[in-house]
Amino acid sequence: MTTLPPLREVIARHGLSASKALGQNFLFDEQLLDRIAAIPGSLDGAKVLEVGPGPGGLTRALLRAGAEVTAIEMDRRCLPALAELEAAFPGKLKVIEGDAMKIDPATLFDGPYHIASNLPYNVGTALFTGWLSGEAWPPQWSSLTLMFQEEVARRIVAEPNTSAYGRLAVLAQWRSKAKLALKVHRSAFTPPPKVMSAIVHVVPGEAPAGVSMRVLERLTEAAFGQRRKMLRQSVKGMPGAIEALERLGIDAQRRAETLTVDEFVQVARELTAPKD
């Protein structure tokens, strides 16, 4: 196994510090990083996309697990440290300098891949919803293993009739299986963030037939955009939504947070179906 210098030493040598503007927080605990890399299961020979590797803490763990890693990093300060990892693991790491918000992962891989990342806090949710949003299903990615602020992680795995339940839960659960895999204490990071973090693991499930992702996105955006209001108020601007609720026997006086994921899917299917 390749012997690497301690990550703290690498960071000190390159004069690196976490950028608040880029939502960075560095993880040094090698055992914790190995636990995160183990969440998707065996990665031996698997292709993995990592967004925002920073100085390469999780990258090291993924490489140790046998993965072939493609890492997207927009912080040029971190590139020399990542170049050392490229040299230590020949042919196993490819670093792309760029903005992950502007790069389609499908253009980077010619087959299945996993996504594993300590996501930058400022773009994590946007990246996550983007990966969930393709009309084609199942997606090219085999699993998502992602670090979020714990509050966001709980919103992804939330159940109906809870304060955390909302649009993110529906989008994550209607054709995928999402679970909270690991909590990470704020003290594990340098510098420590003000909030706790958690790892969410998502694998694709079977997509319900006859439902457009775009329609479901618009429906949940309307329903939860005014979550304190009854559905008859929150979705009235979406043509056909009130009629769909009536056909399905869903009381329009209910609030969005009381509807199950399956009920949202049923409404979206009604709205997706071609009209005579």
The answer to the question of whether 99 is labelled as a binding residue is yes
Report the pLDDT value the prediction gives residue 1, as an integer from 0 to 100.
54
Instruction: Give bridge partners of residue 115 from the DSSP assignment.
Output: 49, 144
Q: Known binder of ligand: residue 25?
A: yes
C-alpha pair distances (Å), 47 with each of 62, 145, 170, 200, 236 = 10, 13, 28, 19, 45
Going by pLDDT thresholds of 50, 70 and 90, the confidence category of residue 188 is: confident
Residue 88 has pLDDT above 70, yes or no: yes
Q: Can you say whether the dihedral through the CA atoms of 152, 156, 157, 159 is positive or negative? A: positive
52 among annotated binding-site residues: yes
Mind listing the pLDDT tens digit for each residue in 121-159? 778 999 999 999 989 999 999 999 999 999 999 999 999
Q: What does the pLDDT read at residue 18? A: 61
Q: Is 43 annotated as a binding residue?
A: no
Please give the model's pTM, rounded to 2 decimal places. 0.93
Whole-angstrom distance, CA of residue 214 vs CA of residue 134: 9
| Residue 203 · residue 170 · CB < 8 Å | no
Residue with the bigger pLDDT between 26 and 65: it is 65
> Rounded to the nearest 5°, which phi and psi values hold at 51?
-105, 130
